[in-house]
Amino acid sequence: MAGLDRRGVGRRLGQLAGALAFALMMGRLGRLLDSGPDQPQWNLIFAASAFLGGIAWWLLGQVTTRRMLKIASFAAAGLLLVFRIGAPETLYGGILPTTSTLAAMGEQLDLAFRIIRSGVPPVETSPGLTAILAVSMWAIGALYAWGCTTGPHAALFLPSIVMYLQFAVFDRLDAGLGWLAASSVTLALSLVALAMERRSDTGRARDAEGRPMGRRSVTMAGIIAGSLAIGAVVVADNAAALISEYGNAPWRGGSGGYGVGEGGIRFNRLVGLQQRILDRSDAPVFVATLGAGATPASETYWRVETLDAFNGEEWTRSDVRLSQFEPGRPLANEYDTYQGTASDFLQIVRIEDLSIDVAPTAGVPVDVLDPPNQEGIRPADFQVLSDSALFAPSGLRQGDEYQVRSVHSDRSADLGILATGPDGELTPMFAAAASAGDFPHEPGIIEEDPVRPPNLARFAELPDDTPANIRNLARTLTARAASDFEAAWILQSWFRDSGDFTYSDEVTTGHTSLILEDWLTDPTSRNFRIGYCEQFAAAMAVMARTLDIPSRVVWGFTPGSVETQPNGAEWIVVRDTNAHAWVELWMEPFGWVSFDPTPRSEQSPGFNAQPASITAGLTPADHLPTAADPGTPTSPSIPGEIEGGPEFVDPAAPDGTAGGVRWWLIVVVAALPLAGVVPMVKRLRRRRRLALVRAGDITAAWDEIVDRLTDLGEEIPGSLTPIELARTTDHALLPLAISYSATVYGGRLGQARESDLIGAEWWIERTYDGPKRARAALSVRSLVRRD
C-alpha cells in the first residue's frame, strides 16, 4: 500500500506541476503575442484547444482500445483544428477541406514561419501562427489526459515546461525573480513527481544477479529537487544578461566561432539581416604598424575572413578545414589574392581589447614571420583556413603580437582595365562617362587569365527558394549593363550613393522587417532600406549571385586612425567602431575585387575611417545607354522605388510552388500530431516484450535487441548464431545470447533474466551517440523487418 500511496501522491504532484507549467507557458505567451481589440482572443482559443484535446483523447480511449486507431483519429481531429483556425473560409460547411484549403493554409503557414523565424515580440497573431500554437496546445492537453490515466508522470508537465522554456528564450523583456521562482517551484514539483513514480521494477539499480536493489528515499529526491530549483534561480538570474533582448545572437558580443577567447570584444561570424550591432564602443581592438610600400593607412581595410555560403537568411563559411602553416610554403591560395595592382608589405599587429581566433591582417596574408619580440606569436603557432585567413588555435588575447606579410589591392589603379570590354574599348557606360569627364581612366587589356578557384561556380549558388522579387530587382537595375563590372558598379552605386538607403545601427524590429525580400522591395516594411553594413553587404552579395556573378562577404575592419603613442611611435589604431562587412565579386581579369555598398553619414560610427566611394563621382543613370540608342534593351532607369513594380515572375521557380505557397509547410504541420507515432509504437512493443521476459520468454529480449540494432543501421547476418553475433559485435551481448541459445537450442526453460536485457540496452546507450539513437527511434526498419 505504501508503494501505491507514493505512486498516487506522485501523480497528483505531477498534475499540479503540469497545471503550473501550463499557466506559466500561457503567461509567457502573453508577453510574446500582441493583444488589443483587433487581435483574436488567443488565450481563450489556446485554453479551449488544450481542454478539448484532453477530452478528445479520453473519449477516444473509451471508444477503442486500438492505439493506432486512437492516434490516427486524434491526429485527424488536430489537422481539422488547424484548417478551422487557419483557413475557415475555405471549408465546406465549416468542416470539410476544399481544393482551395491547402493553398490558403500554405500562405498562412508561410507567414507564420516568417514570424517565428524573424519576429521580435510582441508580434501580431496571424491565423497561421494561431493554428500552429492551437494544435500544440491540443497535443499538450492530450498528453496531460494520458498522464492522468495510464501514461507516465512526465506526460503531465514535460510538454508544457519545454514550451515554456522556448517562449522564455523568445521573450526579450526582463522576467524578474517572480517568474524565476515560479518556474523553479514547478521544476521542483516535477522532479519530486518523477522520483515518486513507481512502475514495477523499471529503472531500478540491480546487483550482479539482476535483483532490484533498494530505492532511494523520497526525502532525498525532495532535497535534490530543492537544490536544483535554488540553483536554477541563481544561474538564470545571473545569466540573463548574456542573452540578447532581441532573441538572437548579436553581431558584436556573440560567440567567436572556432576557437576560444578570454575577455575582450567578440564577433559572431554570421552576416545577415537578422543580426544587430549592440552598443559599439570606441575602444581600440588592435593597433598596428605598416612596413615600406604599404597602402596609406586611410585606405587600408583590415580583413579577418570571408563568408561564401548563403542559406536564405545569413552568410556563413562553407569550409572550416585547417592546415598547419609551414615556413617557406606559400600561405595564401593565389586565387584568394587580388591579381591586379597591389601592395606587398609587412605589418606588426598587437591585440588590445579583442577576443578572437582569426588574425586581422591588412589585406590577404601571404606569409608569417617571427615576431619582433620573444613574447609574440610565432609562425608555427598559426594554422590556415581555406580562404587563406590566419587562425590561432589558442585564441588571440590582449598583448599578443604577430608579424605578417600581406597583399592589399589597389583597384583604383585598375579601373580602366576593369571597365574595358572584349573589343579593347571602354564598355558603353564607362565610355559615356569618360566623354563627360566623369571617368578619367584609359582602357587596357591584360592577356593573361586569372588563376581561378577550382570550384568558382559555387560562389554563384543560391537557395532554390530565393524570392523572385530579388532576382527581378537585380535584373531591372542592371538591365542595361554591358559587363559584370558595370553591373557591380551599378549595384554599389545604388546602395551607397543613390540616397535610397539609410545607414542606421538602431534599426527597429518586427516580423517582416528583417526579411531580405521585404527589406529591399516592400516600402511598408518597418526597416525598408534602413540598416548598417551587414544588411548592405548581405543584400549586394545576394543580388550579384542572382546575376550569376560569383560573390562572397568579407568581415573585418575599416581603416583605423594614425595616432602618436606616449613613446613617440606612430601606430594605426583600429577601434570597435571600425567593425565592418563588405563584398568581393569575381571580376575578370583580376579575380576578387572589393566593393563596399554601405552608405554612411557624418553621424555614422567610423564615418571618418571609411574611404570615399569609387562610384560617387559616376552616377550610372546619367551614362547608361537609353532606349533610343540602337542595340540597347528597353528598361527603366535605376529606381529608388520601382513604380508599379516589375513583373515578379521567375521562370526558374522550383516545382511545387505557386503564389509563394510552400507545400512542405503544410506537410510539416500536418505531421506534427503524428511525430511521436513510431517511437510510441516501439515503446509499447518493448513494454509487451518486457512483460514476456518477466514471464520467462527470453526470445522477446533477444528480439528487442536485434530490432534496436536494426534501427541503428547494423547489419544482422542470418548466417551467424546469436553467440557468434554477440562475439563479433560486443561481449556485453554475450549473457543475453547465451541465455537465448540455451532456451532455443538447448531446450532449457527458465533462462530469461530481465538483467540480461537491461545490460544489453545499457551497452547500446553507451556505444551509440544521442543523435544516432534519436534517428533510430524514428526509423521504421524494425517495424517492417521480416525474419
Q: Pick from 298, 310, 237: which is nearest to 270 by CA?
A: 310
Burial of 643 (0-12, 13-18, 19+ CB in 10 A): exposed
The pLDDT tens digits of the residues spanning 325-346 come to: 887 777 878 888 899 999 999 9
Q: What is the pLDDT of residue 483?
A: 94
Range with top average pLDDT, 317-331, 411-425, 764-778: 411-425
What does the DSSP assignment read for 689-701? HHHHHHTT-HHHH
Instruction: Over range 122-131, report the average pLDDT.
Output: 80
Q: What is the pLDDT of residue 628?
A: 47
Coil, strand, or helix at residue 747? Answer: coil
Of the chain, the percentage scoring pLDDT greater than 90 comes to 19
Q: What is the pLDDT of residue 644?
A: 36
- Domains and their CATH numbers in the chain: 2-243 (no CATH), 440-558+578-661 (3.10.620), 677-784 (no CATH)
Range with top average pLDDT, 425-439, 589-603, 628-642: 425-439
The pTM for the full model equals 0.53
Contact yes or no for 699/722 (Cβ under 8 A): no
Alpha-carbon 342 to chain mean position:
37
The pLDDT tens digits of the residues spanning 511-544 come to: 344 578 888 888 877 778 888 888 899 999 999 9
Burial of 196 (0-12, 13-18, 19+ CB in 10 A): buried
Q: What is the pLDDT of residue 509?
A: 45
The CA-based angle 736-737-741, given to 5 degrees, is 120
Q: What is the pLDDT of residue 756?
A: 77
What does the DSSP assignment read for 559-623? --EEEE-TTS-EEEEEEGGGEEEEEEEEETTTEEEEE------TTSTTGGGSPPPTTTT--HHHH
**Distances, alpha carbon 589 to alpha carbons 108, 261, 428, 439, in Å:** 48, 40, 19, 20
Pairing of strands 284-290, 342-351: antiparallel
Residue 264 pLDDT more than 60? no
Q: CA 278 to CA 633: how far, in whole Å?
A: 45
E strands within 309-374? 309-310, 314-316, 322-324, 342-351, 356-358, 361-362, 364-369
Least confident of 131-140, 214-223, 234-243: 234-243
Q: What is the mean pLDDT of the chain?
A: 77
Residue 398: all three cell numbers together: 590582449
Instruction: Over range 288-315, report the average pLDDT.
Output: 89
Radius of gyration of the chain (CA): 32
- Rounded to whole angstroms, the maximal C-alpha distance in the chain is 102
Prior bond to 589 cis, omega within 30? Answer: yes
Prior bond to 122 cis, omega within 30? Answer: yes
Q: What is the pLDDT of residue 495?
A: 92
Residue 524: all three cell numbers together: 511598408
Q: What is the pLDDT of residue 675?
A: 54
Instruction: Over range 257-280, report the average pLDDT.
Output: 41
Q: CA 396 to CA 382: how far, in whole Å?
A: 11
Alpha helices in 197-243, H assignment, sequence order = 218-239
Instruction: Over range 554-564, report the average pLDDT.
Output: 89
Instruction: Over range 259-270, report the average pLDDT.
Output: 40
The pLDDT tens digits of the residues spanning 561-578 come to: 998 877 777 889 998 888
Residue 139 pLDDT more than 60? yes
Q: Pick from 191, 216, 165, 181: which is nearest to 14 by CA?
A: 191
Residue 455 pLDDT more than 50? yes
**Residue 109 or residue 254, greater confidence:** 109
Residue 134 pLDDT more than 50? yes
Instruction: Over range 725-742, report the average pLDDT.
Output: 80
The pLDDT tens digits of the residues spanning 645-664 come to: 333 333 333 344 434 444 44
Burial of 48 (0-12, 13-18, 19+ CB in 10 A): middle
Contact yes or no for 402/358 (Cβ under 8 A): no
Q: CA 590 to CA 450: how far, in whole Å?
A: 6
Q: What is the pLDDT of residue 248?
A: 36
Q: What is the pLDDT of residue 301?
A: 93
Q: CA 616 to CA 295: how far, in whole Å?
A: 21
Give CA torsion, residues 167, 172, 174, 175, to 10 deg.
Answer: 0
Q: What is the pLDDT of residue 543?
A: 95
Q: What is the pLDDT of residue 38?
A: 56
